[in-house]
Structure 1
Amino acid sequence: MTVRLVVVDDHPVVRDGLRGMLGTQPDFAIVGEAAGGAEALTVVAAERPDVVLTDLRMPEPSGGTLIRLLLERVPTVRVLVLTTHDTDSDVLPAVEAGAIGYLLKDAPREELFRAVRAAARGETVLSPSVAAVLLSRVRPRKPTPTGQLSAREREIVALVAQGRTNREVAAALYISEATVKTHLLRIYAKLEVPDRAAAVSAAHRLGIL
């Protein structure tokens, strides 16, 4: 499967670098690029890519607003953030707006390649520092015994263990993708793990599955 990409960044050197780096992968096809939010909306609407790789701070619209508008215009697109900013004020609006992943620009190229492929499959991808920010927000105020998942959380872990994407989990349970992401973050916090693969492993170990 070829992953069709649009790259959005207001720095030409960054766009050139990403285009050259991503172009080394035979399963990636860069179908467009943009230097700001308005241009990104036009390009994405015309090309309808699988994944949009975007920075956050650019000519408006940007950040969470841009992500929300992209998903409103092309609901099938997956938005993967690639930025230098990992503060609460950047991370939370982006995730709440519907970004499927959030990486920092110092990520190794192989990590970026994996993230793009995972995003195309509908899987959430977070850099460790970003995961820490989100977990600090969803971690229960009172200590929760490891493995004490709600009935809904157990259903979600079971579906994830079957290899279902967030979209497929949402369809199976008649809830939104955003709700699935919120449940997953709570599951990560309760199981004290960083991602879905580790959550499935922990759930098996604890006898939840």
Structure 2
Amino acid sequence: MFGRKKDEAAAEDAAVDNPYESTEAPPEGKKGPTPKRSEQEALNKRPLVSSDKKARKEAERKRRIESQERLRLANETGDERYMMPRDQGPQKRFARDFVDSRWMIGEFLMIIIFAFLIVSFTMANNLVVQANITIALWAILLITIIDAFIMTRMLKKRLVARFGESERGVLWYASMRGLQFRKMRLPKPQVKRGEGPRD
């Protein structure tokens, strides 16, 4: 009993010392005690950009740069682990070597067409020259198609003899590579002309 009276007296003394501070919860619908200004400013101070998001973007950028560097080195050295999926596989590697070991008319096609265009513009008033250029251009295109056809037939025989079959898309892959200038091909040629595909 005496302890209870003592606690009540202490509560009354505290209320007298600080008449503006209430120990009871504010009624429903009314505002509670106003927080200090420093506490409110601390709550409002939030970063505009999340540091985690920024770090994640930086990590993604580094991974992208590393991936591009690995791809560049793979195209230079012939390391298939980091090549594009379209260039991976033993048959694709064999087709690249087969094309790179040959002379292909198609690799000079763009240079020939460019030369014909220059001559055609300079001799625009000469109808005979224009007609001859047109015939020559169609002849070059026909020879290029025949050369690519012969190359793909030979490649198919080699693929079947070595792998048992020719995978779908490999012959087209080789034809498109044969139309590219040798120094512009990616992945870079790993064999010299006349060497033949690697084992």
The two structures have a TM-score, normalised by structure 2, of: 0.22
Q: Which has the higher helix share?
A: 2
The two structures have a TM-score, normalised by structure 1, of: 0.21
Q: Which has the higher strand share?
A: 1
Larger Rg: 2
Bigger RCO (CA 8 Å, 6+ sep): 2
